[in-house]
Amino acid sequence: MLATLTTLPEPVLDLRDLLNTYLEPEKVAVVLRAFEVGDKAHEGQTRKTGEPYILHPVAVARILANLRMDYSSVAAAILHDTIEDTPLTREEIESRFSEEIADLVDGVTKLDKMKFRTRHEADAESFRKLMLAMSRDLRVIFIKLADRMHNMRTLGSMAPESRRRIARETLDIYAPIADRLGMNGIKSELQDLGFANLYPWRHRTIAEHISTVTGDRSEIIADIHKALKRKMNEAGIPCDIKGREKTPYSIYRKMLAKDLSFSEVNDVYAFRIITHSEPHCYLALGAVHGLYRPRPGKFKDHIALPKPNGYQSLHTTLNSPFNLPVEIQIRTQEMDILAEKGAAAHWQYKSGETTSGSAQVRAREWLMQLVEVQRHSTDSMEFLDGAKSDLFPDQIFVFTPKGKIIDLRRSATALDFAYAIHTGVGNKTTAVLVDKVEVPLSTRLENGQTVKVITSESAHPIPEWLAFVTTARARTAIRHYIKSLEQADTVALGLRLLETALNSRGSNLEAVPAKRMDQYLKENNFERQEDLLTELALGNLLSSVVAANLAPNVSTLPEGGETEALSIAGSEGSAVAFAACCRPVPGDNIMGFLSAGKGVVVHRVQCRNVRELRKQPDHCINVSWAPIRRGMFEVALHILAKNVPGVLANISSSIGEVGSNIEKIEQPEANPETATLLFIISVKDRDHMARVMRRLRRNRNVIRVSRIIA
């Protein structure tokens, strides 16, 4: 039985009256029934402020009602803490209301009942779940943002340390999410409340300065407002002109970014011109430019090129006769609604066929990118870091050859663009053309450029790409590919090591009974055979010891018998490392050493460290070069050269002429006559290295060249 109108608390009556302005009575009744269920579930619970707990979800629901959200969202807002904080279950909510409302409540619920190693990990996992729920239904984040906003409004009752933590989280995550969704009203309030609780003295000082400056300039501001209104009337442009105060947080950010004092931040007050249509916006722009001279470089057309969150408006800054810069925003009424409510404005319209869809679509595209990032992330903390890096939209706009606009963060590279098109495109990228000119993949892109990606089926990501890509999507895709590749390489090497050890005992892996293998895996806490092979490849287990356990009744080779050498092709990935002390290349005599955590480390037999390594015979293995090698191998050269202008470029040219790349150059010493140079170059094999050295010896500036031997 629904509570009678006279017994409803005043905040609920206010909520009901607000809902009645845009919802049908039967839908308002569902919200009131949600209050009755929530009130009973939260009975006896109070907030830190001392008020009944139910008033918090009611306040959250009112924030959503002010956005004119649908009744399911408002009802879910009232119930949003019940699954987490009361005995009420998701199943009960679904049976009493609907699957839709139950899904919304479940999407907002935190994961406090799960066990995490740290508080940060719990927050990261909650954020991950929230983002995935958002991708299914945007209304989840609208409820969460409203919840955070009311919590911030009542944060004063919390302990100082909790206030700072929640304020930092609000500024780092929730305000940027609101901004990414185009919800400027909520974003601004979250930023200002976060700033006030994180840095109360700074916020109070700036707010007082704003109040003082606004009071001192009140007559000037009134004169500018009258002049703007008169100019619009003369031009026959129907409009509404509003004053727009800058918030303490926006001024603080500007002071930090440009290293300015408060007195240097002049544009504390600005104006917004709201007119009827897009053509009126451009007419208004011409009118204000005719009133006051515009400042060069301060005009932005976000109508023709909307922001990633769908925001549209014209921005310009004028020089007024009062020595006060005047910031102007010009937009239509619908653009103004979208600027304040962003993707949430979609629910204000009866039909989905409105321009509000642009904000909705852009929000959905961004969320789908986040879903792809999380799919390839190894843990919640990595996902949170990646998502946060993409939440701050210092954006640029570039074009595909077909004219599609792609928005990227300002530091994005040509390779980031390829991954923005599709992960498969990024992984297969071989070259990128910017304005029809081929550029390095690491090239930073700029606004307005046209970018074309060239791909090849034989191409694949390499670890060096991680050094310059900037977007979470690109980083995550590259890491995922490399990790999967390295895992496959590692397992393959472990298999070869185990087979070699079993062969030395006159056995092989196929001859090991499945029962014995399963027992060995169980006794040593391995879930799969691949886990055992990985430990072997990484040197954490000795293959000879494992082979003795798997084939205990098989005799080893007679003393002096040769075991099959492990074949090294250079394509084993991180499972095989080439020692930096001697830098072996194909053609050198080599030996292998199993190093815990590093796998097989290959040394030249002549390396001075080999004698010490031989003292651990169980860790030493026979290795040889495969007939077909892949990739390039590093070698170190010591060059004594004449100390003349251009000698470094001259020697580098000689190395390049023989098809070798220079990886590193050092100059440990020099005098007026000679210079000692240390080059690390990449070669295919020992013969290639010899050709490089012969070419260097023919260089008239080279006195002596030799290979560095440890």
Q: In 3D, which of 200, 175, 195, 170 has the Cα closest to residue 186?
A: 175
- State the span(s) of the chain assigned CATH 3.30.70.260: 633-707
Burial class (CB in 10 A: 0-12, 13-18, 19+), 687: exposed
Look at residue 29 in the predicted model and tell me its pLDDT: 93
3-state secondary structure of 42: coil
Q: Which residue has the higher pLDDT, 507 or 71?
A: 71
Give the domain 633-707 fold.
Alpha-Beta Plaits (3.30.70)
Look at residue 486 in the predicted model and tell me its pLDDT: 66
Contacts of residue 251, defined as CB under 8 A and 6 or more positions apart, other chains included, come to 206, 210, 262, 265, 268
Do 359 and 342 form a contact (C-beta atoms < 8 A)? yes
Look at residue 357 in the predicted model and tell me its pLDDT: 44
Contacts of residue 580, defined as CB under 8 A and 6 or more positions apart, other chains included, come to none
Which pair of tokens denotes residue 75?
């009802």
Contacts of residue 594, defined as CB under 8 A and 6 or more positions apart, other chains included, come to 497, 539, 542, 543, 600, 601, 619, 620, 621
pLDDT in tens, 329-348: 999 988 888 777 766 665 54
Phi then psi dihedrals of residue 667, to 5 deg: -125, 90
Q: CB 674: neighbour CB atoms within 10 A? A: 16
Do 636 and 683 form a contact (C-beta atoms < 8 A)? no
Cα(678)–Cα(663) distance, rounded to whole angstroms? 11
Where does 3-138 have alpha helices with state H?
10-19, 25-41, 55-66, 71-78, 82-85, 90-96, 99-108, 119-136
Most confident of 7-11, 513-517, 691-695: 691-695
Look at residue 426 in the predicted model and tell me its pLDDT: 92
Look at residue 460 in the predicted model and tell me its pLDDT: 81
Amino acid at 17: D
Look at residue 356 in the predicted model and tell me its pLDDT: 41
Which pair of tokens denotes residue 7?
């017994």
Look at residue 688 in the predicted model and tell me its pLDDT: 92
Phi then psi dihedrals of residue 299, to 5 deg: -100, 130
* pLDDT bracket for residue 393 (50, 70, 90): very low
Do 493 and 600 form a contact (C-beta atoms < 8 A)? yes
Residue 126 in this model has a pLDDT that exceeds 90: no
Cα(294)–Cα(621) distance, rounded to whole angstroms? 76
Residue 467 in this model has a pLDDT that exceeds 90: no
* pLDDT bracket for residue 386 (50, 70, 90): low
Look at residue 17 in the predicted model and tell me its pLDDT: 92
Calculate the CA 349 to chain-centre distance.
33
Burial class (CB in 10 A: 0-12, 13-18, 19+), 378: exposed
3-state secondary structure of 566: strand
Beta pairing, strands 599-604 & 576-578? parallel
Strand partners for 407: 397
pLDDT in tens, 600-645: 889 999 898 988 888 888 788 888 888 877 778 889 999 999 988 8
CATH of span 204-345: 3.30.460.10
Which pair of tokens denotes residue 285?
């722009």
3-state secondary structure of 620: strand
pLDDT averaged over every residue in the chain: 80
Give the domain 5-197 fold.
Hypothetical protein af1432 (1.10.3210)
Do 577 and 598 form a contact (C-beta atoms < 8 A)? yes
Look at residue 473 in the predicted model and tell me its pLDDT: 83
Catalytic residue IDs: 84-85
- State the span(s) of the chain assigned CATH 3.30.460.10: 204-345
Residue 664 in this model has a pLDDT that exceeds 70: yes
Residue 10 in this model has a pLDDT that exceeds 80: yes
* Mean pLDDT, range 668-685, rounded to an integer: 87
Phi then psi dihedrals of residue 566, to 5 deg: -75, 125
Most confident of 64-68, 129-133, 260-264, 467-471: 64-68
Burial class (CB in 10 A: 0-12, 13-18, 19+), 562: exposed
Q: In 3D, which of 370, 335, 328, 74 has the Cα closest to residue 224?
A: 328
Contacts of residue 399, defined as CB under 8 A and 6 or more positions apart, other chains included, come to 405, 406, 448, 449, 450, 451
Q: Which residue has the higher pLDDT, 154 or 344?
A: 154
**Residue 489, CA distances (Å) to 142, 532, 575 in order:** 45, 14, 6
Q: Which residue has the higher pLDDT, 557 or 298?
A: 298
Which pair of tokens denotes residue 324?
């006060």
Residue 181 in this model has a pLDDT that exceeds 70: yes
Helix and strand numbers (H, E) in the chain are 28, 21
- State the span(s) of the chain assigned CATH 1.10.3210.10: 5-197
Residue 391 in this model has a pLDDT that exceeds 70: no
